Structure 1
Amino acid sequence: MQPELFLVGVDADANIIGNAMAGYAGRRGWINYLAVAPDKRRSALGRQLMHAAEAELTKRSCNLQVQVGNDAALAFYLTLVYLQDDEVSLDKRLISDLDPS
């Protein structure tokens, strides 16, 4: 468990308005998810969450993946000086995302 890699942004009323989930698997760190409430986007919260996650991963290493077609996310990460590389990511679902078990 790496609780320092689970970040939550809250507003003055303690409502969750954003989160970032990072992980480290012994060789590389990953930014797995970043989400900001639609009405809080362009408020710098996404940037703040990414910088906080990067600060934790700086002690390790950091890669991230963006799904093909998610142009808004790709553009956001490019503004944070991430570079698009030529690696190919492969995925194999071992269980259905809809499987409740």
Structure 2
Amino acid sequence: MARDAIQSQLEATEVRIHNMDQRITEWLDHITETLETLGNRVDGLAVQVTQFNSGMTELKGLARQVLQAIDRQTESIHGHLQVAQQQSANISELAKLVATQASTVDFIIRRTSA
């Protein structure tokens, strides 16, 4: 009975870990797509800026402001990516802990049964 409850808890934990892993993977995919979109926007902006007259100092100032905003967004996204990567590492460690706990439970059950 206790073994069934423990097994059920382990399975539920594995499902939660799997679901968290899927969500993190989706977050990473979304972040990657966002970074690609930002990269494409930066490339497009660079092409447009080179086509304008170099004497248009106001346009240069605006372009610098846009690039700074993109840099801030990129840094922010990078921070989110680092958090997601840490969460992924935490999930891996949690999976190892679950395996260790399962082994310990099996050992205790075998020892108690003997």
Q: Which has the higher contact order (CA 8 A, sep 6+)?
A: 2
Higher percent of residues as helix: 2
Same fold (TM over 0.5): no
* TM-score, scaled to structure 1: 0.26
Structure index of larger Rg: 2
TM-score, normalised via structure 2 length: 0.24
